[in-house]
Amino acid sequence: MIELTALQQEAIAAEGTSFLLGMAGTGKTTAVHHRLLHLLAQGEPAYAILTIVAEPDRAQGFVTAVQQSELGPYGDLTVTTYNKMAMEMVDLFWPLVARPGGFVRPYHPPTFLTYDLAQLLMWHIITPMLNAGAFADLRLRPQQIVSQLLDTLNRAALNSLTLDEAILRQKVTWTGAPERLIHLEEAAAAARQFRQTCLEQSLLDLSLAVEIFDTQLVHHPEFHRYFSERFRHLIVDNVEEQTPAGQNFVAALMDEIVSTAVVYDVGGGYKRFLAADPDGGMRFATLCRRVFRFEEPFVTNTPLIHLANLVQNHLEHTSLPTAEAGEAVWGVVGGRYRREMAVELAEFLADFLREQQIAPRDVAIIAPYLDGALRYMLTQAFQKAGLPYYFLRRRSSPRDEPRVRAWLTWLALAHPDWKWHPTDYDVAEALTLSIAGLDPARAELITEWLYRPETPELLPLDNMPERIRERVGADMAGLAEALRLWLAEYDANAPTEQFLYDLFQFLSQYRFHPEPDTAGAAVCDWLMQQAVRLRQSAAAIGLETPAAVGRTFIDGINQGLVTANPPDLGEPPDPDGIMISTIYGYLLAGEPAQVQVWLETAATGWWDIPNQPLSNAFVLAQSYDRARPWTIADDGLIRNQLLSHIIRGLTARCSGGVILASSDLDRRGVRQDGPLWRALGTAVKGS
């Protein structure tokens, strides 16, 4: 049973509007969890309480609090994000907003575009532009262009800007080479075409749903009447991670209901790349009747506070106390290469946890990035050391998963009219993953003799010389032939999701996979879901033939489509294992840990910000002065501020100490000596 402080109890029982202010780990979220329980215990129905969280993962804390309270039914409890609520409300009030929102067919119900589908629509729009030479010298992959164009649309809406205002901001604040202005014009043309397609086809992507909700629905008398009669109490967690549109919503309606409790994490705002506005969130300190200041840390300790001070002093030229910073560093692990670092870290942690009697679940490994190679190195090293672990996944690119590439390869070969030509490597990799026991060398031999990429097709086994067939093995060659025949005889007119299901059934036979292929099942399920969504939206996004749909499906994934719902591969994650996460994934969703490992501490990735020449998140912030040019000095300043806030946020979520793990050379073989490593210099030397 948690013993609540007097300040928490006062905040829990507060009437009217209240603002809970303090660093992470000072008990604010615990207070609003109990605020929810207090309302339910007072007889308020769950139906009348709205809780808005910054991240979907944060909703579980409120649900768990109610589950453990034994207060009775709570099925009508609404715990949601602003973005999700905006889309649901626009759908609910569609007849009120469709015509004034500019939709060509307001009587036609909307089709919601997930982020995955929005990428495919944008990909469909920019492909002819790329072929005509647009964005030619930007040195960006097509998928990066797609994601940045969608970012501009989303950031404009979430910052309560029109698309034209957002485009103008980017142009007038640019101080670099004039050629970039041409690319910004090209980006504007693509974004406008995307928006026009949505209006013509009644498509609702995130940007359009938020724009309509923020500019029309929130101010509509009917919505005000609905909201005030439906909800009596509002709880907003982490308002510093909310966007201006989300903050506007809370500010517009908080006085029309019985009570509002708003939580603000000082030093937060980690979602600034996603349009979060920590400065705008502070206005609730004056809008709320009561302000509760939480200053006593429940998680961190003085050495960790001093460690964060050390980094801030270095980056922002402050003079905060650092005397005990060295005591927060519990170990330093190194290696010349990343592989050596991963092995050394696994061995160090195995000994350290055993000696200190610390459970793996009390350890969090935080890295600036988790590319496929690093994930593989950590997986191999931890498995060898017998350490349980799990990855806290947010967004990922499915093309990085070999099984996804394999299934798309077979999909392309079964539909040669789609004119998508897998490479020799693609086919060899697909054979290796589809036939248990077939090693890469023999898969390459099969591909060399039986695959014709120009067609594309697999040739009959008779085209393989006997001597090669003997090297491959009769059984393996026979299975490759069986797969070829199945692909050749399959009904090319069947829906893509049906093909994927039938392919999984075929490859699940004992002769192909003696053991259940759980990873293959996860990939099949994910691909089928994507295929169904695309088929249902195909006409609306301009894909008029099955071949066009098929090519877009394969192209989108292979060009790097990013998904927030990647397939679950391998064994289920061990909830009692070591958490492995990216920086922002941990800060936004991870639980406090006793021990943190700062991975690749010497990498510049801790200090880097995304290279987005077509969508500057900071210029598009509502609070940014659009008349002020964005300079190199601004870029350096924001990097230092973000890194300082990151370290403050990490130490606030750590109760013991940190372990620094880094490699001398990065993945390209370049020596590492990043700003964080330099900032930690005295603490590292003293450890």
Residues pairing with 366 in the sheet: 581, 598
> Contact at 8 Å (CB) between 15 and 259?
yes
Low-confidence ranges of the chain (pLDDT < 50): none
Report pLDDT for 669: 74
The answer to whether 26 and 294 have CB atoms below 8 angstroms apart is yes
**SS3 assignment for 422-478:** CCHHHHHHHHHHHCCCCCHHHHHHHHHHHEECCCCEECCHHHCCHHHHHHHCHHHHH
pLDDT of residue 402: 85
Chain Cα centroid distance, residue 301? 30
Asked if 394 contacts 585 with a C-beta cutoff of 8 angstroms, the reply is yes
CA angle centred on 578, ends 572 and 584, rounded to 5° = 95
Q: What does the pLDDT read at residue 255?
A: 86
DSSP 520-566: HHHHHHHHHHHHHHHHHHTTTTT--SHHHHHHHHHHHHHTT--BSSP
Residues 491 and 496: their CA atoms lie apart, in Å, by: 11
Domain 6-88+220-294 shares a fold with domain 302-396+573-686: yes
Rounded-to-integer distance, Cα 337 and Cα 662, Å: 9
- Which pLDDT value is given to residue 588? 85
- Architecture (CATH level 2) of domain 302-396+573-686: 3-Layer(aba) Sandwich (3.40)
CA distance between the termini of the chain: 37
Pairing between strand 457-458 and 451-452? Answer: antiparallel
Quick one: pLDDT at residue 2? Answer: 74
Residues 81, 54 contacting (CB under 8 angstroms): yes
CA distances 503 to 196, 368, 459, 495, Å, are 38, 38, 19, 12
Can you give the pLDDT at residue 125? 92
Nearest to 597 by CA among 313, 320, 373, 381: 381
Distance CA 519, CA 534 (A): 23
Q: How far is CA 224 from CA 76, 81, 159, 253, 278, in A?
A: 20, 19, 22, 8, 26
Distance from C-alpha of 325 to C-alpha of 311, rounded to nearest angstrom? 10
CATH code, 6-88+220-294 = 3.40.50.300
Determine contact, residues 497/452, Cβ cutoff 8 Å. Answer: no
Q: What gap in Å lies between CA 328 and CA 480, rounded to an integer?
A: 57
3-state secondary structure 266-314: ECCCHHHHHCCCHHHHCCHHHHCCEEEEECCCCCCCHHHHHHHHHHHHH
> 3-state DSSP call for residue 348?
helix
- What are the boundaries of each domain within the chain? 6-88+220-294, 111-204, 302-396+573-686, 399-558
**Nearest alpha carbon to residue 392 among 593, 570, 586, 562:** 586
